[in-house]
């Protein structure tokens, strides 16, 4: 889950470069997005914490002050760190000159990762975008100008981080994670993951410990519980149905695993999350004013 503020736009007045959406989020440990393919360009910038970004067969370890580009029609996955989950902002955009403008600031398909020291300025631009969330003519021009300002700040102080070639270990980890994300709802075990990647279980364990700071079993369990928490928060699916959807055939085993990670039973977590969400909606504007 993430504590997020999002602006989504549908009416595009401009052609060269235009804002599609933007947002600001403080993520929970191991909160993730994907694997997914997006129709627009998206620039993420990390304000606090750490996380991982996976694109193709490459894993990028990222931290505050860095950002990453998501390109259209490219499958990506990104996840907050377990110990220091990131807070980030993002802008999604398109336009006939979008690719050219990205190239002008040094970001492209071969150089997806960058560093910028103007965190506060970028943050204030996105917060201003979020506050001007009506589709009036005035706001359309304002949002267009803010998007160009976002690019201007990057252009004056961007340090593109050279890509690192994907090594064999990263490829194994990427394939293992992809398998987990696509099959966590089934009754898979670590042996199944190792078989899919075509390596020994003990080697898979060492790779995860060295690169992910957790075992494959821990990663699988954490991912299942994270997805379960989202289902409990966003749907009315019965707890037993949530358990099945996340790979648990026994609701009692699911309940025990969920409470161990989240500190509450699934039912109590759902009630608390709904209550907190209502309170969050009521104070949304006040929080935005303080950001």
Domain chopping of the chain, boundaries: 2-161, 168-274
pLDDT at 203: 94
> 207: closest CA among 239, 249, 177?
177
pLDDT at 159: 87
Alpha helices, DSSP H only, in the chain?
98-104, 119-131, 137-156, 168-183, 190-197, 201-212, 216-234, 239-245, 251-262, 266-290
pLDDT at 53: 93
What kind of fold does domain 168-274 have according to CATH? Answer: Arc Repressor Mutant, subunit A (1.10.10)
Measured CA to CA, the distance from residue 280 to residue 137 in angstroms comes to: 29
Measured CA to CA, the distance from residue 102 to residue 160 in angstroms comes to: 12
Measured CA to CA, the distance from residue 140 to residue 54 in angstroms comes to: 33
pLDDT at 57: 66
Indicate the CATH number for domain 2-161. Answer: 2.60.120.280
Beta bridge partners of 87: 26, 48
The model's pLDDT over 250-269, given as tens digits with 9 standing for 90+, comes to 999 999 999 998 899 999 99
The model's pLDDT over 200-239, given as tens digits with 9 standing for 90+, comes to 999 999 999 887 778 999 989 988 998 898 888 878 899 9
Let me know how long the chain is.
291
Q: Which segments in the chain show pLDDT lower than 50?
A: 1
pLDDT at 274: 75
Measured CA to CA, the distance from residue 228 to residue 247 in angstroms comes to: 10
pLDDT at 146: 96
pLDDT at 279: 61
pLDDT at 70: 95
Tell me if 87 sits within 8 A of 27, measured CB to CB. Answer: yes
Q: What's phi and psi for 207, nearest 5 deg?
A: -60, -45
Write the DSSP assignment of 169-181 as a string of letters: HHHHHHHHHHHHH
CB within 8 A of 129, min separation 6: which ones?
Answer: 7, 19, 22, 91, 143, 146
pLDDT at 10: 64
């Amino acid at each position: 889950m993430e504590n997020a503020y999002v602006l989504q736009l549908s009416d595009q007045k401009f052609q060269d470069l235009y804002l599609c959406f933007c947002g600001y989020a403080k993520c929970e440990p191991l909160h993730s997005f994907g694997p997914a393919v997006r129709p627009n360009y998206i620039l993420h910038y990390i304000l606090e914490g750490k996380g991982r970004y996976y694109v193709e067969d490459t894993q990028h370890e990222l931290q505050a002050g860095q950002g990453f580009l998501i390109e259209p029609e490219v499958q990506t996955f990104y996840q907050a760190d377990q110990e220091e989950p990131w807070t980030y902002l993002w802008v999604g955009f398109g336009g006939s000159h979008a690719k050219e403008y990205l190239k002008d600031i040094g970001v492209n398909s071969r150089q997806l990762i960058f560093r910028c020291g103007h965190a506060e300025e970028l943050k204030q631009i996105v917060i201003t975008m979020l506050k001007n969330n009506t589709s009036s003519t005035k706001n359309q021009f304002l949002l267009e100008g803010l998007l160009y300002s976002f690019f201007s700040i990057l252009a004056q102080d961007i340090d593109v981080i050279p890509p690192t070639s994907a090594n064999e270990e990263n490829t194994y980890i990427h394939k293992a994670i992809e398998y987990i994300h696509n099959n966590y709802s089934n009754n898979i075990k670590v042996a199944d993951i190792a078989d899919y990647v075509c390596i020994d279980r003990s080697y898979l364990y060492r790779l995860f410990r060295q690169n992910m700071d957790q075992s494959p079993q821990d990663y699988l369990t954490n991912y299942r519980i994270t997805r379960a928490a989202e289902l409990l928060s966003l749907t009315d699916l019965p707890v037993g149905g949530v358990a099945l959807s996340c790979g648990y055939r026994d609701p009692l085993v699911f309940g025990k695993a969920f409470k161990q990670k989240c500190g509450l039973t699934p039912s109590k977590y759902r009630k608390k999350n709904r209550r907190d969400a209502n309170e969050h909606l009521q104070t949304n504007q006040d929080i935005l004013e303080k950001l």
